[in-house]
Chain A
């Protein structure tokens, strides 16, 4: 059974800071790695995803994957108050039930102006 864990549980950073969020997974057959952002009371929305080892940058957001370490991360450059939200990592395993995404419990990010 895939286990997905996130750290830290919560994070408070000042505006303009670099924010780093972490996600570990247990199944080495995992194939798809994604970050979702969920504002309070709203639906999660996909931010970024990656399939292969390495980094991918989109604007202020960078996703980094290291399959050997069973770890991927999200880095937010120049954090803004509007980035305050619950960040969920999600992992999908090759050959699993179609569309079976395993989510972590989330990191609550607060960016202080």
Chain B
């Protein structure tokens, strides 16, 4: 069975500090991977997607970047956090070649102070 793990579970960071969030998927080969962001009380927005190692496409510009260093790993990062980066970050996957149904990880709650 496939499992999706995100780390850390929660993070409190200062404005201007760097950030790195991670996601790993086990039990599925070559999944499509996605990063989403949900501001408190806000709409779920897709940030990035990746269909293969080393290839990441940006969907929404939020001064964030993403990388896929391994088939089962997706990283979201920034060098300088903004207050507006606070929210719930979710990693998701879908079957290769099928992008419709997406399965979400447990998420990381980020608070920027």
Contact = CB atoms under 8 A, between A and B. Distances in A.
State yes or no: do A and B come from one complex: yes
A88 B36 CA distance: 14
A108 B96 CA distance: 32
Contacts of A56: none
B15 to A, nearest CB: 24
Nearest to A98: B99
B43 A99 contact: no
A95 to B, nearest CB: 11
Contact of A97 (B45, B59, B94, B109): B59
Interface residues of A, number: 20
Nearest to A92: B100
B14 to A, nearest CB: 23
A45 B46 contact: no
B81 interface: no
A103 B43 contact: yes
A99 B49 contact: yes
Interface residues of B, number: 23
A100 B43 contact: no
Interface in A91-106: 92, 97-101, 103-106
Contact of B94 (A43, A99, A103, A104): A99
Contacts of A60: none
Interface in A34-83: 34, 41-46, 49
Nearest to A104: B43
Contact of A44 (B46, B57, B59, B90): B90
A42 B105 CA distance: 9
Given A44-B90, A103-B44, 14 more contacts: A32-B100, A34-B100, A41-B109, A43-B104, A49-B101, A92-B100, A97-B57, A97-B59, A98-B99, A99-B46, A100-B49, A100-B99, A101-B102, A103-B45
Interface of B: 32, 34, 42-46, 49, 51, 57, 59, 90, 94, 99-107, 109
